[in-house]
């Protein structure tokens, strides 16, 4: 399949990109013009696009679009809204316009709440609104909501579903593996919470 990834140069995104290339998919990374693409694996193509100002056509030719991007923990609320909320929603709309078959969203535990509280409230609100936009879009979707992320390697097992301990952890490598599964349709039209077993 032709798979377009927003966030391919991030820690989770790089592992996801490698996984998909290993599975013989054609992978294109959606990157800003000034992005450092030196770590992208051989065989990954790039397409320029800024999540704060996406132009029509960025999803053309893609069978699947994966949103694995984020504004990052060091940015303020405005950038969270521009990337995690508005950028995601715009990418969803452009994917639908392009006839993309499936949209996979990397979300977060807690994004099920419409009025979250706590230190991450602004971020979770942005993710919630993006997730709801995807569910209402008419696109075939998968939304993955992992717990706190680590840089550990793959684990032997993960827990998916309602029994997830929201205070647990899961590795980015495990998250990337489930995102790759979702790209192939295994988790269509599901919202999945996730932790390491």
Residue 183: give the domain boundaries. Answer: 2-196
Residue closest to 1 by CA, chosen among 137, 107, 138, 102: 102
Q: Is the pLDDT of residue 75 over 80?
A: no
Beta bridge partners of 5: 29, 66
The band of 77, judged by pLDDT with boundaries at 50, 70 and 90, is confident
What per-residue confidence (pLDDT) applies to 5?
98
Q: How many residues does the chain have?
A: 197
* Block residue for tokens 């489930």: 178
What per-residue confidence (pLDDT) applies to 82?
96
Q: What CATH code is carried by the domain that includes residue 11?
A: 3.40.50.720
The band of 72, judged by pLDDT with boundaries at 50, 70 and 90, is confident
What per-residue confidence (pLDDT) applies to 73?
67
**How many domains are contained in the chain?**
1
What stretches of 49-171 show up as alpha helix (H) in DSSP? 77-80, 88-97, 121-136
Q: Is the pLDDT of residue 164 over 90?
A: yes
Mean pLDDT rounded to a whole number for the chain: 96
Instruction: Give the whole-number percent of the chain exceeding pLDDT 90.
Output: 92
Query: Please, are residues 127 and 84 in contact by the beta-carbon 8 Å criterion?
Result: yes
* Marked catalytic residue, from 67, 103, 123, 141: 123
What per-residue confidence (pLDDT) applies to 37?
96
Q: Is the pLDDT of residue 74 over 80?
A: no
Q: What are phi and psi of 132, to 5 degrees?
A: -65, -35
State yes or no: is 123 an active-site residue.
yes
Q: Is the pLDDT of residue 139 over 80?
A: yes
């Amino acid at each position: 399949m032709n798979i377009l990834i927003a966030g391919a140069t991030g820690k989770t995104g790089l592992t996801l990109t490698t996984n998909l290339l290993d599975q013989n998919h054609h992978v294109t990374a959606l990157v800003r013009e000034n992005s450092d693409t030196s770590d992208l694996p051989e065989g990954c193509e790039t397409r320029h696009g800024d999540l704060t100002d996406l132009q029509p056509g960025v999803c053309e030719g893609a069978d699947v679009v994966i949103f694995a991007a984020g504004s990052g923990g060091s940015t303020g609320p405005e950038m969270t809204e521009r990337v995690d909320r508005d950028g995601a929603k715009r990418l969803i709309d452009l994917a639908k316009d392009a006839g993309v078959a499936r949209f996979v969203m990397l979300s977060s535990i807690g994004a099920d709440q419409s009025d979250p509280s706590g230190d991450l409230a602004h971020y979770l609100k942005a993710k919630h609104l993006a997730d709801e936009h995807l569910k209402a879009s008419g696109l075939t979707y998968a939304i993955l909501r992992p717990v706190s992320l680590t840089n550990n390697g793959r684990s032997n097992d993960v827990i998916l579903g309602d029994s997830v301990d929201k205070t647990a952890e899961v590795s980015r490598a495990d998250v990337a593996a489930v995102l790759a599964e979702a790209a192939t349709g295994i988790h269509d039209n599901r919202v999945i919470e996730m932790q390491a077993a």
